[in-house]
Structure 1
């Protein structure tokens, strides 16, 4: 072959390559115009095979198309949008087509199909996905690993999204894979930098923008922040209740609620990021040396919004830095392994503040050291030692006390520091080494190999209580504990080979056990038999769990002497069915939910914030397969973004069976067209909350447009409550009072400022609602609030209709002369409350004219004092309730609690109290309150027989809380078995209920536990279905525990 001919052939090949690349590049959706189903593109060749039928095949090696893909060339359908490295020979090809929405926006751009299955190269190749572009006709061809049994296909474009990925069973592929993505929207915007700042590489770096929602199903998408503070989030499902969150590394987080995204539209957003405050400091040891890798947590009680939390680690020089701190009261807590947690209050930080030079010194605190040994006296190396104690300084991770743990050295020794001066619980545990494993390990080491020692023997444990920090030479001897044996079988009696045993101390059992003694054990066996050891003496609740089976019933055993236990785990069932729309057409992408439904009981489906998660999703033909269904009666229903939630159908699932032919129907969605009435003043950007009522699960917030209009779509039929929220800068604020008129505008007193409406929607309804319209039959009420003849300024006056409490109500604030004026809807009986929260004076009045005057003379009495802890320290945000139960003549009166919280110095005050006899309940703040550091479980107290004369003012009253006690026990029925759901009530000798911080009920086994009981003598009683047990007298002292058994005859 001569050189000219060779050059000509090379040129021809290069021309074909360029032409082919150009040709393939035309196989994706263009942004030139709108495209829909069946759109044609000039110059695109027909697909091969011409029939369009697809097969999932392992293409022969000689096949040119497959060879091209292996060589990383574009596949014949669409284009590879991500670089695909060489694929294995035995991939499985799947072709299909996309049914586009009827109309796509002109800027739709490219569409991408992603296939996900098992790894292409097994364990050595982590790739699971194969992504390609889509041709103009919607055709695509993707690859799965040949080992894939079930794969998933996802579609995403600028506007297109999949509500649920399409699931494909590779052994049962349909003749044609059809994918129907939905038409979503785009949210984009640009944020302004804080005043005096600008966007640059440093301020943008690490920034991210998240759009999320809860209503109608959890959805979230995060994208990086682009230069100049811009962002664009594509393929967003339409909704009116999105939250936008912008995070930057240097400035405050920016949030915006009520963002609306519509199908086929671009939502433009804007906002300005605030700089926030900055905190810089250093963590050092006692000698002043810098400490690295110390965790520093910042907690902020902000001046506006919800609490704020950040955590950073110190650098090598001990320095830490917080940026973008929300203005408010700031507290730092530093924690490090082996050191005490140290808390430092920084006080109030404002926007732009820079707080530097913060130094926190860590101290190792107290320590406990000792040795862990086996029962024969040999050291127990590599055993776990855990120490528990309540700690004053608590971070989010230490809310309920921190556990410090450590493995023992080879000689069994341990030292754990960072302890406070409070008593500790010390635990140690280890699994024994079987003699055969020990022998194999020794032989391997003799041959120069590692000889790892496997611990497969029984678990040995030890627990020591009331150990003082500073203890040295503590000896912990591991004990084998008791053993329970048994068998796990399914409903047919067949043994289960792999399952999990859960062991938990019984509630109300012996005091030697607590929840931290519980454990779980995985069992692998051929005949279903098991042996669980390490049970300490006491009452235990055991249960078994296994894949593809429902959990066993719980069994109560007593150790020692547990004996044999048999667990029966019924096999899961399956449910096959179809979901249809209101017109009878199958619905793809519908979510199928199931809930347990007791026989004869009405079923109310309640899933927080709507339908998220579920048992199955329908395919392109509306069919679903729900697996892993526990046997029993179920309520099954379907939800979909395009339709209203369907009514539940009731089915019974049998163990191991497949229930066929379940048909579910979705209902036509309803909507609300709303308008904020101009009479309220501001109509633009007003927030409206929509909440479902009477079993309808929906919660959403929308924002009105510039003309006051708002719209809510996709609602399930049912009842809804709409409420117009107060504007960000409401009228009616009283200078210095800090109180805002909640419902009535001060400028137009004949209008609601927070209007409430209820609507009942039928299938397909589009209800029109006006919020804030003038009252049709207004009644104006005015008057003056005084005490001892003097005006009471800045006090709230609440007025609520006894007939329509949810809507017909108003709240205003008295002016400097104690005057008030409000408007309600219509004449009738109204309840007036003077005060705020639960610290109010209440009376009922009849409004019989269009204009009424009602003056209020508040009692002149008052009661103030301090709430103190066991050591005399002030308790902040403690709960105090003052209850009047007799008048001055000794006659009983309806009890009504007036509640206040103690201030930062522990002080409290009840104002305007009537003469009579009272009792006072007091307890400290909830244990979950992050900023409360009492470090003790203080008990609630009840102080009785507080008598106040007319106009009496009592001050300086000290309420001291002692460390509380614990009341545990069991409620038994007439048959001697544990009785669940019984309410436990602790009362004083005068019959007043202590009201612990939560209502206690007996659990499934009849056990109960009431914590936080202050020292004293009480009477304990159980009650269920109107039947009460005999009251038993119990005496509680500080830190004590009392166990009681109650018998309740409910027959």
Structure 2
């Protein structure tokens, strides 16, 4: 793959991860989308009980801030009961109704000589308690045993909850770090956390905490700054976290009908997949959302009797406080209920999601007593999806109809389900602790739409014991997940019978050797904090990161041959004198019980680029961020790839710097090579310079941002209640998306760079697209009329065999719009291909579309995720059949060594229509299989093993060419020849 392709694939995977995190966090803001089509999968009987509405239900809800404070006390002990003195014990809460500061706050105490502690001044809401101590693994309080042990502590107003004891096991290591602001100054008093471990930075910005050895994520937050984080390995690496001065959104929530202030509303600021908040409005309806980074934010307000959204995104500069923003809230209602477990006990951890295909989606977490309060629900008929951690949903549940009043007294019941229990052992039979065991359902080809359940165990006990609960009868794959240990050579295939748990299952990890080494640059200097990965053999292999001295250690590597690579920002670091087209890293073979060492030499990582950022008039800009993205020197790289790649660089953030008061910046710790530099300020102004070599000094001019506005109308007149607009500038990769609510069809993006844009709008009533251009400081306008949505039907078939492919989920949206994330069990049944491969997707716009085809519930089933460009014909009918859709099955097994054909193809330009795309050979590895077979640079590949890969079928190339070492692939060429290429080992 080219550098661009590698970065896109990995960033897409991270994008999925980010979407997962966003989906999980959505319950804490009450809403996560408008007009999504997710609905629960069918399964067992529904359980819904609507109780009577009583006047008492409208009494003011208990406000813990006005109640007497609570306290919690207990002891910190070793597993054998010995007291641990000097432990840091903290209490925090994730209770709904708290604002952002209260959710982030931790109140701590230090344990005495007898291990006792007492924390006071706590709000009387459920809390979690956790502790850390020198030489110990941090841990949280849990009562009960097994996977369903509970961790929340009930606190009552004016009372002390006692005997909240925390057990810490030996084995913790010391993690050291420093917190600074972007200018390099040390920050005192920052709260630093890593899981259950917590610390405060001193006057010199330094902190120390005790964590589990290995890779960890360290987060820091400080008053007046946006949160920041770093990923690294402890011990031996100094964690350096730079915080950005916060920007702030202020404003007021008022009722749309009369302008009266709305007190007690939760206001959330949404940026991409991250929600910041909530900030609760005061008696005058005023709010203040703090801790924001620069950028564009969508504001939404949720109240028991109202919902509102700002008419357009608010754009913030560095350290800027916005002008007051008015959010007009319209009538909406509270939906209140309880999630109960069959037998009467309440659910402690979970969420409820309500979906109406027109009104949108609302979502809330389950509170400690099982209650759920979903605020700001618009009138509509909602399909509930209910999740209780470690239990089985009984969905589909009866629809919840919201009219002109709150809905209370709902009850959703979940079932305990069944369990798989056993032990994780090393090759010699010794139990191993700290391993997560994953239990994933397997698709039954005869019933691919059947309800399934998956489980993820708590870390295995020191003796290796694990328990996975909340399962339904069926076939499962059992494997493990750990950054330090490889998974089993092959997952266990088990069948869980009706009404019977599986006991004493043994999950055996493979025998291993050890790999140690160093990563140093061409100057002999250590390269710290980069990821070390293994390529070859199993797909899931341990990874680690280098320490301050450049060293690394992988203590558990399964026997085999590998290529060891040092990776930064998901791209392998290059050895001195090589290019992207050369194979990077070192080859190593490891035997069981053997310790091998390897030294990786990479190009200098101490390159430097300095410069100045100015505005359109040449004046210095002191609030601009500058990022450097390494340009690929591969023959397969396309023009402008560096600028498009920079859109993903915020995931790494290693080269992001802030200009000083003179507009100057310095980017360092760069590998030798050419870079694309992008400077941005606020939400849209940006400037870029390409082909900048390390050692250069440059000036970046930020052009004055423009704007795009427009209107959306329904056929026959009127405007949609809510709609989503996406802007795409294909040549630069710039894109932005926003949702609009009751704006009369008007929309506006206040700050966008100059360029030629595609504008896509989607609503429950229809979809449309158009184009507009924006000059420097100019304004683009577009008027769009929604075209009716249709149902798309089709059939998935294997590209090589033509056989139907069951159990794949299909999602279709307008091309360029992207795909709304939906959870594991909420894709409508029709969107999962049946035993004949047939599927149907509702609410699809006619015209250029993109289909995302992925395994059901994201679970391995022999096929990877495919992105397929389609053309949905506008026939005037309400249903369109697109016929057979080909997808390619995986040709390499999980434990087969990957093969390398020794070639790279050039990706088509972003503006290329799929039907016109070509797979043109851009580079050949000298002496590699493709060169030996007679392939030439410039050849067009038109088929793989007889399967057409031209034009819109180009998406099949990646999977069809990903074969095991030793496999012979027949490549059909545009010049009429067919050659056979035998893949050799990648390492």
Q: Is the 8 A contact 2:772 2:781 kept in 1?
A: no
Task: Give the alignment partner of residue 624 of structure 1, picking from 640, 644, 665.
Answer: 665
Q: Is the 8 A contact 1:488 1:568 kept in 2?
A: yes
Q: Is the 8 A contact 1:188 1:231 kept in 2?
A: yes
Q: What SS is found at the alignment partner of 2:255?
A: strand
Q: Is the 8 A contact 1:330 1:348 kept in 2?
A: yes
Q: TM-score, normalised by structure 1?
A: 0.48
Task: Give the alignment partner of residue 415 of structure 2, picking from 362, 379, 391.
Answer: 362
Higher relative contact order (CA 8 A, sep 6+): 2
CA distance in 2, matches of 1:481, 1:520: 14
CA distance in 2, matches of 1:700, 1:414: 43
Q: Is the 8 A contact 2:890 2:959 kept in 1?
A: no
* Equivalent in the alignment of 1:972: 901
* Equivalent in the alignment of 1:275: 332
Do the aligned partners of residues 671 and 536 (structure 1) sit closer, same or farther apart at CA in structure 2, a change above 3 Å counting?
A: closer
CA distance in 2, matches of 1:704, 1:333: 26
Where do 1:185-584 residues align within 5 Å?
A: 187-191=251-255, 204-205=263-264, 207-211=265-269, 223-227=279-283, 229-231=285-287, 243-248=298-303, 250=304, 253-258=307-312, 269-276=326-333, 278-285=335-342, 288-293=343-348, 295-304=349-358, 306-315=360-369, 322-325=374-377, 327-337=380-390, 339-340=391-392, 342-351=394-403, 352=405, 354=407, 356=409, 358-369=411-422, 371=423, 379-380=430-431, 382=433, 384=435, 386-390=437-441, 401-408=454-461, 410=463, 413-426=465-478, 465-469=492-496, 470-475=501-506, 480-494=511-525, 502-504=532-534, 506=536, 509=537, 513-515=538-540, 518-522=541-545, 532-538=554-560, 540-544=562-566, 551=573, 553-555=584-586, 557=588, 560=591, 565-570=598-603, 571-584=605-618
Q: Which structure is larger by alpha-carbon Rg, 1 or 2?
A: 1
Q: CA deviation at 1:333?
A: 3.2
Q: What SS is found at the alignment partner of 1:304?
A: coil
Q: CA deviation at 1:576?
A: 1.7
CA distance in 2, matches of 1:535, 1:235: 42
Where do 1:608-757 residues align within 5 Å?
A: 615-641=656-682, 645-653=686-694, 659=695, 661-669=697-705, 692=729, 694-695=731-732, 697=734, 699=736, 716-720=753-757, 756=770
Q: CA deviation at 1:1021?
A: 5.2
Do the aligned partners of residues 246 and 186 (structure 1) sit closer, same or farther apart at CA in structure 2, a change above 3 Å counting?
A: closer
CA distance in 2, matches of 1:876, 1:758: 37
Q: What SS is found at the alignment partner of 1:606?
A: helix
Q: Is the 8 A contact 2:440 2:453 kept in 1?
A: no
Bigger shift: residues 220-229 or 628-637: 220-229
Q: What SS is found at the alignment partner of 2:632?
A: coil
CA distance in 2, matches of 1:115, 1:490: 25
**Deviations along 1:166-193, whole A, 9 cap, x unmatched?**
xxxxxxxxxxxxxxx9999964342369
Do the aligned partners of residues 538 and 253 (structure 1) sit closer, same or farther apart at CA in structure 2, a change above 3 Å counting?
A: farther
CA distance in 1, matches of 2:969, 2:942: 7
C-alpha root-mean-square deviation of aligned residues, in Å? 6.8
Where do 1:101-120 residues align within 5 Å?
A: 117-119=186-188
Q: Is the 8 A contact 2:793 2:838 kept in 1?
A: no
Do the aligned partners of residues 567 and 704 (structure 1) sit closer, same or farther apart at CA in structure 2, a change above 3 Å counting?
A: closer
Q: CA deviation at 1:341?
A: 5.4
Q: What SS is found at the alignment partner of 2:687?
A: coil
Task: Give the alignment partner of residue 639 of structure 2, picking from 602, 613, 621.
Answer: 602
CA distance in 1, matches of 2:389, 2:190: 43
Q: CA deviation at 1:758?
A: 3.4
* Equivalent in the alignment of 2:918: none
Q: CA deviation at 1:421?
A: 3.4
Q: What SS is found at the alignment partner of 1:345?
A: coil
CA distance in 2, matches of 1:636, 1:290: 57
CA distance in 2, matches of 1:389, 1:907: 17
Do the aligned partners of residues 560 and 420 (structure 1) sit closer, same or farther apart at CA in structure 2, a change above 3 Å counting?
A: farther
Do the aligned partners of residues 374 and 465 (structure 1) sit closer, same or farther apart at CA in structure 2, a change above 3 Å counting?
A: closer
Q: Is the 8 A contact 1:610 1:697 kept in 2?
A: no
Q: What SS is found at the alignment partner of 1:407?
A: coil
Do the aligned partners of residues 555 and 253 (structure 1) sit closer, same or farther apart at CA in structure 2, a change above 3 Å counting?
A: farther
Structure 2 runs not aligned, ≥5 long: 1-182, 193-197, 208-219, 229-244, 445-450, 575-583, 796-803, 813-826, 842-849, 865-880, 893-897, 903-923, 932-936
Q: CA deviation at 1:259?
A: 5.2
Q: CA deviation at 1:589?
A: 1.9
Task: Give the alignment partner of residue 623 of structure 2, picking from 589, 607, 615.
Answer: 589
Q: CA deviation at 1:390?
A: 2.0
Structure 1 runs not aligned, ≥5 long: 1-113, 130-143, 165-180, 432-455, 654-658, 729-737, 744-753, 773-806, 814-834, 841-862, 864-871, 881-901, 910-919, 941-956, 1011-1017, 1033-1044
Q: Is the 8 A contact 2:831 2:840 kept in 1?
A: no
CA distance in 2, matches of 1:906, 1:489: 50
Q: CA deviation at 1:258?
A: 1.9
Do the aligned partners of residues 608 and 350 (structure 1) sit closer, same or farther apart at CA in structure 2, a change above 3 Å counting?
A: farther
Q: What SS is found at the alignment partner of 1:258?
A: coil
Do the aligned partners of residues 234 and 373 (structure 1) sit closer, same or farther apart at CA in structure 2, a change above 3 Å counting?
A: closer
Do the aligned partners of residues 540 and 670 (structure 1) sit closer, same or farther apart at CA in structure 2, a change above 3 Å counting?
A: same
Do the aligned partners of residues 675 and 331 (structure 1) sit closer, same or farther apart at CA in structure 2, a change above 3 Å counting?
A: closer
Do the aligned partners of residues 928 and 484 (structure 1) sit closer, same or farther apart at CA in structure 2, a change above 3 Å counting?
A: same
* Equivalent in the alignment of 1:1001: 958
Q: Is the 8 A contact 2:352 2:372 kept in 1?
A: no
CA distance in 1, matches of 2:341, 2:739: 50
Q: What SS is found at the alignment partner of 1:535?
A: strand
Q: CA deviation at 1:594?
A: 1.9
* Equivalent in the alignment of 1:758: 772
Where do 1:933-1012 residues align within 5 Å?
A: 937=861, 966-968=890-892, 970-973=899-902, 975-976=927-928, 999=956, 1001=958, 1007=962
**Deviations along 1:897-929, whole A, 9 cap, x unmatched?**
xxxxx98579999xxxxxxxxxx9746989999
CA distance in 2, matches of 1:984, 1:609: 31
User: What is the total number of aligned residue pairs between the two structures?
Assistant: 651
Q: What SS is found at the alignment partner of 2:699?
A: strand
Q: What SS is found at the alignment partner of 1:631?
A: coil
